[in-house]
Amino acid sequence: MSELNLILFGPPGAGKGTQADRLREDFQLPHISTGDILRAQVSEGTALGTEAKRFMDAGKLVPDEVIVGMITDRVADGDARDGFLLDGFPRNEHQADALAEALSSLERHLTAALLIEVPDDEIVRRLAGRRVCVKNPSHIYHVDFDPPKHEGVCDQDGSRLLQRDDDREETIRTRLEVYHSQTEPLIGYYDESGLLRRFDGTRGPDEVHAHIRATVATLRLEESL
Ligand code: AMP
C-alpha cells in the first residue's frame, strides 16, 4: 500500500480539526495536530507547555525551535509509517523546509497539501462562538450553529465545554494576521511543487469532507500506480 503523507492547512477556524477527524477514520491515518499537542502540554503543566502558553494566548506562533523537532520526530514514529495527517504544521516556510528535509531523510515525500479556505469575517464568527470539550478537544460545538443539547455540557461525554483562551475576538484578529503574513505564503510554496489542493471551507462540513475524501482517494490511487 502506498503512503499518504498529508498536511491540512488554512486559517484558524477553517474546520481543519473536524475534517482531520473524519479523514483519520476514512484512511486510517494518525492525526497529528500541533495545537492539540501543545494544549495537552499546557494542561499537564510541562515546561514546554508553560513556554508555549504565552505565545498561544497572544495568538502568536510558538518558536520554531520548540515545535520543529517535536513534529519531525513524530512523523518518524511507527504508527505514521504508512502516512499521517498533519494539522497545524507547517505554519511558515521554515517549518515547511524542515518537514521536507525530515521526510527526505526517511526517503519519503509529501503526498499533498490540502488547503481549506474561508474568508476572515466568517472565521471571526465561527471562532468567537466555538466551545470545546475540556476532556476531548475533538468534541467541538458552536453556540449558534451547532449548540450542545444542554448549555455548556458536552453531548458526547458530559464534560464541561469551554471557550479556548485564544478564541477571544482580539486574539482571533492576531491569529488571522499571523496566518496571512506567515502561513499564507505556503500556498505559493506548495503550488509550485504541484502539491496544493484547494477546498472551499464555507461549504458545510459534510460537503467539504466529501470533496477532500474524493481528492485523497484519487491521490492514493495515483501514488499506487
Ligand atoms: P491551532 O489549534 O492549530 O490553531 O493552534 C493553536 C496555537 O498553537 C497557535 O495559535 C500557535 O500559538 C500554536 N501552534 C500550533 N501549531 C503551531 C506551529 N506549527 N508553529 C507554531 N505555533 C503553533
Q: Which residues of the chain have pLDDT under 50?
A: none
pLDDT confidence of residue 1: 56
Number of domains the chain contains: 1
Determine whether the shortest distance from the Cβ of 67 to ligand 1 is under 6 A: yes
Domain that holds residue 113: 4-30+77-118+176-224
Cα 36 to middle of ligand 1, angstroms: 9
Ligand 1 centroid to Cα of residue 40, in Å, is 12
Q: Is the CB of 35 under 6 A from ligand 1?
A: yes
Q: Domain for residue 144, yes or no?
A: no
Give the three cell numbers for residue 83.
Answer: 502516512
60 is catalytic: no
Asked whether residue 211 is domain-assigned, the answer is yes
Which pLDDT tens digit goes with each residue over 43-69?
A: 999 999 999 999 999 999 999 998 999
Q: What share of the chain is helix, strand, coil (3-state, %, to 5)?
A: 50, 15, 30
**Does residue 210 form part of some domain?**
yes
Residue 163 lies in a domain: no
Long-range contacts of 120-125 (CB under 8 A, 24+ apart): 120/11, 120/176, 122/202, 123/11, 123/12, 123/13, 123/14, 123/172, 123/176, 124/169, 124/172, 124/173, 124/176
Domain contains 62? no
Would you say residue 135 lies in a domain? no
CATH of the domain at 16: 3.40.50.300
pLDDT tens, residue by residue, 158-195: 999 999 888 998 899 999 999 999 999 999 999 999 99
pTM for this predicted structure:
0.90
- Asked about 175 being catalytic, the answer comes back as yes
Flag whether 170 is in a domain. no
Distance from residue 14's CA to the centre of ligand 1 (Å):
14
Taking the C-alpha atoms of residue 117 and residue 187, their distance in angstroms, rounded to an integer, is 11
Please, how many CA atoms are within 13 Å of residue 217, restricted to the half-sphere of its CB?
8
What confidence score (pLDDT) does residue 222 get?
87
Per-residue model confidence (pLDDT) at position 167: 92
Dist CA 19 CA 8 (whole Å): 9
In a domain, 48, yes or no: no
Catalytic residue among 91, 108, 126, 197: 91
